[in-house]
Amino acid sequence: MKYIPDVRGCARRHALLYLAVLMIWLKTYFTHRYYFELPVSGWYQELILFISPLSSILIMLGLSLVFLRSRWHIAIIIVSVSSGILLLANVLYYRFFNDFITLPVLLRSTQIGQVWGSIADLLRPSDFLVFADTAALIILVKGGGSRRAVIRRLHILCMLAAAVSLLLFNLDAAEKLRPGLFSRTFDRQLVVRSIGAFNYLVYDTVNSARMKARTVAAGSKDVAVVKAYLASGRRDRVDPVMFGLAKGRNVFLISLESLQSFVLDKKIGGEEITPFLNGLAKDSFYFDRFYHQTGHGKTSDAEFLIDTMLYPLPSGAVFFTHAQNTFHSLPKQLKETGYYPVVLHGNNRTFWNRDQMYETMGYERFYSAEDYNIDEENSVGWGLKDIPFFEQSVGKLRALPQPFYAKLITLTNHHPFTLKKEDRLLPPFDANSKTLNHYFNTVRYMDEALKDFFKAIKTAGLYDNSVFILYGDHYGIARKHGKAMAKFLGKEKLTALDHEQLQRVPLIIHIPGVKGRTISTVSGQIDLKPTILHLLGQDSVQGLGFGHDLFALNKQQMAVLRDGSFVTDRYVFTGNKCYSISDEAKTDPARCEPMREEAQKQLKFSDKIIYGDLSRFLKHEKS
């Protein structure tokens, strides 16, 4: 009984500390609940979502108090500000990427200056409510007299013990709700719903470190396991009509920034959004069920997929985390047969660590911003506008030794889709989304730039002996613009199936002098490397990878997305639900189970190859 007054006294002395815990807890819960689209259903899931932030908040406060026992009021302000910054960063990142921030992303803070335009466009006045508790705590600290009290070590120890207990309870509850959540799932929304964004940051960091540690232990046995898995799959039956159809030709690989398939053959105010691409698609091999498979690395992930037949990483970008790996890339293999591989991009050469990664991939030359004449008139957003970019690139292409493999990366159609008035070629569209409204004009500008480029290539005498491969690199319109997208597509509301189908991006393979056709094979960016090699008459594909020739007579009808969802010719699996494409409705999950296991195997083995740097053990072996 003699300790009761001390407990009560402690409660009075540190009432502000408990209030801080409550305020930070509530702001984190409300941010999770109303800023993120988390799959919450029923009271039990709601309870887990509610309690999930508390353990991380207690741990942050407890660790801060270890160093600031006598100045605990400063500790609570630090934690309040830090949690607000992390929440704000997550809100902005989620709006753009529909994903949650990770440590590798935070470590790329040196690039904030280059993406400021996107950040400014994403901000909302209500976002700053994540600092409302900070303002209130500062006022209370200044007006309070108890801040001189010292927090006892036992008090801190109890706080940390309570945090660990809550965390263990949280993990157990989440695992019971979704068995295998932390060992088998690729759905980050489920993980964040179960343990909160703060704990997810730690979970992802530990998981990534564990995966990277395998590099040291990896050996030839791991290669044998992966090769055995790849050998068990179907081998491509090459179409003899298509094989070698573009043999000896120059290759133009053109990355169409943020271009999704839904804009093709669509009009605004009676005018086509993509008149040139519409015509080109009719005169080419056009793949209308082609999906982007990118992760956090976006454009760089698309490049990686195409050049290596490997999936991007579940967290971070391979261009940053594994630029020193050995990759049996498309440029390296083409170089062996006399091709000269180059990249042309009107942005800073160090952005996305491209200068290092391109060297690793085997490119002979990288034409970056320093190789172009860039000023205020011919640049917008992220760099050189597409029309001057293509205009200035033609002279560089003419000077290349032939045959060449030239990758050209466009920029103008990048979030936040800003464009000068004189460059807007479409009537305005009002979809209650500034982002979507602007998107149509930057897409139209890119389409015009492509039309001019093809004319210039013909004038330069490079057209007839080339093959042109144009692909969308990733989505441009995030899920949060669902209402505006529904209006544009003439629907009342977009379903989960609709959102997955919107991950389709254009793929156009144009071979001058060859009549094309529309091909509805389900495919993805990972399939381009073997397709290009077979068109050029090369029957072997070096390295470990998961792609299939798009023209193969037995092409697997499946596209695996980085988050673990997938699309086949009959089913779509997304958000841990199985949908039938034919009737656009949820169906028996058992129908998707065999493909789900296959999708996770592919992602697992791809991660194993990258984290273990397994390609270093190969010596130009065929996959």
- 565 in the same domain as 541: yes
> Cβ(108)–Cβ(53) under 8 Å?
no
Which is nearest to 446 in space by CA: 394, 386, 390, 381? 386
**Any domain includes 65:** yes
168 and 280 belong to one structural domain: no
Write the DSSP string, 269-304. Answer: TTEESSHHHHHHHHTSEEETTEE----TTTHHHHHH
In three-state secondary structure terms, 241 is coil
**What is the pLDDT averaged over residues 553-582?**
92
CA-to-CA distance for 386 and 448, rounded, in angstroms?
Answer: 9
pLDDT (tens digit per residue) in 252-294: 999 999 999 999 999 999 999 999 999 999 999 999 999 999 9
Co-location of 130 and 183 in the same domain: yes
531 counts as catalytic: no
138 lies in some domain: yes
pLDDT in tens, 430-454: 888 888 999 999 999 999 999 999 9
Domain final residue, candidates 188, 212, 236? 212
Q: Examine the pLDDT at 201 and tell me if it is beyond 80.
A: yes
Computed over every residue of the chain, the mean pLDDT equals: 88
Q: Are residues 188 and 245 in the same domain?
A: no
The number of folded domains in the chain is: 2
* Same domain (yes/no): 180, 293: no
pLDDT at 146: 52
| Predicted local confidence at residue 573, as pLDDT | 95
* Comparison of pLDDT for 414 and 211, the residue scoring more: 414
Query: How far is the CA of 420 from the CAs of 357, 427, 441, 465, in angstroms?
Result: 33, 14, 10, 36
User: How is the chain split among helix, strand and coil, in percent rounded to 5?
Assistant: 55, 10, 35
- Please tell me the total number of residues recorded for the chain in this structure: 623
Domain that holds residue 108: 4-212
Last residue in a domain, options 168, 191, 212:
212
In this structure, what CATH number is given to the domain that contains residue 284? 3.40.720.10
Q: What is the pLDDT of residue 39?
A: 76
Whether the Cβ atoms of residue 147 and residue 141 lie closer than 8 Å to each other: yes
For residue 618, the model assigns a pLDDT of: 83
Instruction: Choose between 388 and 206: higher pLDDT.
Output: 388
Query: For the ranges 136-140, 150-154, 288-292, which has the lowest average pLDDT?
Result: 150-154
Residue 144 lies inside a defined structural domain of this protein: yes
Does 22 map to a domain? yes
The pLDDT of residue 223 is above 80: yes
Whether 69 is covered by a domain: the verdict is yes
Task: Examine the pLDDT at 393 and tell me if it is beyond 90.
Answer: yes
DSSP characters for 356-397? HHHHHHT-SEEE-GGGS---SSSEETTEE-HHHHHHHHHHHH
Mean pLDDT of all residues in 406-417: 93
pLDDT of residue 1: 38
CB atoms within 10 A of CB 275: 16
Looking at the structure, tell me whether residues 509 and 426 fall in a common domain: yes
Structural domain includes residue 622: no
Is residue 461 a part of any domain in this protein?
Answer: yes
Does residue 4 have a pLDDT over 50? no
SS (H, E, C) 140-190: HHHHCCHHHCCCCHHHHHHHHHHHHHHHHHHHHHHHHHCCCHHHHCCCHHH
Give residue 121's pLDDT: 72
**Is the same domain home to 363 and 294?**
yes
Has residue 623 been placed in a domain?
no
510 and 473 belong to one structural domain = yes
pLDDT, mean of residues 399-406? 97
Confidence of residue 429 (pLDDT cuts 50, 70, 90): confident
Question: What is the C-alpha to C-alpha distance for residues 102 and 29, in angstroms, rounded to an integer?
Answer: 19
Cβ–Cβ contacts within 10 Å for residue 407, how many? Answer: 24
Q: Are 198 and 53 in contact (CB under 8 A)?
A: yes
pLDDT at 3 over 70: no
Q: Would you say residue 177 has pLDDT above 50?
A: yes
Helix (H) or strand (E) holding 27: helix 15-35
- 447 in the same domain as 379: yes
- Range name among 60-64, 172-176, 259-263, 333-337 with the lowest pLDDT average: 172-176
**Annotated catalytic residue, options 299, 412, 531, 574:** 299
User: Are residues 206 and 231 located together in one domain of the fold?
Assistant: no
458 beta partners: none
User: What local confidence, expressed as pLDDT, does residue 7 receive?
Assistant: 45
For residue 20, pLDDT beyond 80: yes
Based on the domain organization, do 169 and 265 belong to the same domain?
no
Q: What is the predicted pLDDT for the residue at 45?
A: 87
How far is residue 574's CA from residue 497's CA, in Å, rounded to a whole number?
Answer: 8
Q: What angle do CA 617, 303, 235 make, to 5 degrees?
A: 60
pLDDT at 5: 42
pLDDT at 583: 83
* pLDDT for residue 6 is more than 50: no
- Whether the pLDDT of residue 155 is over 70: the answer is yes
Residues 445 and 563 in one domain: yes
Per-residue pLDDT tens over the stretch 531-547: 999 999 998 888 899 99
Q: Which of the pair, 468 or 104, is modelled with greater confidence?
A: 468
What's residue 85's pLDDT? 92
The model carries a pTM of 0.79
| Reported confidence tier of residue 38, pLDDT bands at 50, 70, 90 | confident
H or E, element range at 88? helix 72-97
Residue pLDDT, tens place only, 580-602: 998 888 889 899 999 999 999 99
Last residue of one domain, picked from the residues 212, 232, 260:
212
Position 154 pLDDT exceeds 90? no
Flag whether pLDDT at 374 surpasses 50: yes
